[in-house]
């Protein structure tokens, strides 16, 4: 029999990952159908700032708040973990990695647009594919630790 904690955890992950994948697909759709089609690529950084830094933050904060409100005063830790996971997925390179993976494209050896990411701010050269993969490993490790710590709270 499947544990109720595992079911709750999986439902939380389905919600988080569904939103994440919707963001990845929307990014691709908007880039292809708007920015490339109308020669607006010079505005991509502004779009990504609004789309990822503002919209995704609000989306994951809302998801975390809804969970916390639904669970009452004891739900705030899981609500915060939901928010943190969403931010990690969007801002630590997972979006870029999944973007190439989902659309079956090779990850470029250099990803210079990530140099503007505050997480990679110490980079003095273009972020590399290896750097992106290292970021993914670190991100997944952080998420595993967060959820292991909070397992009793689920």
Backbone angles phi, psi at 125, to 5 degrees: -140, 175
Share of the chain above pLDDT 90, in %: 77
Given a cut of 90, whether residue 53 has pLDDT beyond it is no
Task: Give the domain range for residue 120.
Answer: 4-153
Residues ≥6 apart with Cβ < 8 Å to 15: 63, 82
Using the CB atoms, write b or e for 109-129: b if 16+ within 10 Å: eebeebeebeebeeeeeebbe
pLDDT tens digits along 73-85: 889 999 999 999 9
Which of 87, 104, 114 has its CA nearest to residue 19? 87
| pTM for the predicted model, two decimal places | 0.90
Query: Which burial class, exposed, middle or buried, applies to 65 when counting CB atoms under 10 A from its CB (0-12, 13-18, 19+)?
Result: middle
How many domains does the chain fold into?
1
Residues ≥6 apart with Cβ < 8 Å to 75: 67, 68, 69
Given a cut of 70, whether residue 105 has pLDDT beyond it is yes
pLDDT tens digits along 61-70: 999 999 999 9
């Amino acid at each position: 029999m499947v544990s109720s904690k595992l079911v709750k955890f999986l439902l939380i992950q389905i919600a988080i990952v569904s939103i994440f994948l919707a963001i990845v697909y929307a990014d691709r759709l908007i880039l292809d159908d708007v920015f490339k089609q109308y020669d607006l690529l010079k505005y991509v950084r502004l779009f990504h700032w609004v789309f990822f830094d503002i919209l995704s933050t609000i989306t994951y904060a809302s998801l975390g708040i809804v969970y916390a409100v639904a669970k009452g005063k004891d739900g705030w830790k899981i609500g915060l973990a939901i928010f943190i996971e969403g931010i990690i997925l969007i801002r630590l390179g997972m979006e870029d990695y999944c973007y190439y993976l989902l659309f079956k494209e090779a990850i470029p050896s250099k990803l210079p647009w990530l140099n503007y990411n505050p997480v990679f701010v110490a980079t003095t050269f273009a972020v590399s594919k290896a750097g992106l993969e290292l970021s993914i490993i670190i991100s997944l490790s952080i998420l595993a630790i967060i959820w292991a710590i909070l397992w009793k709270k689920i």
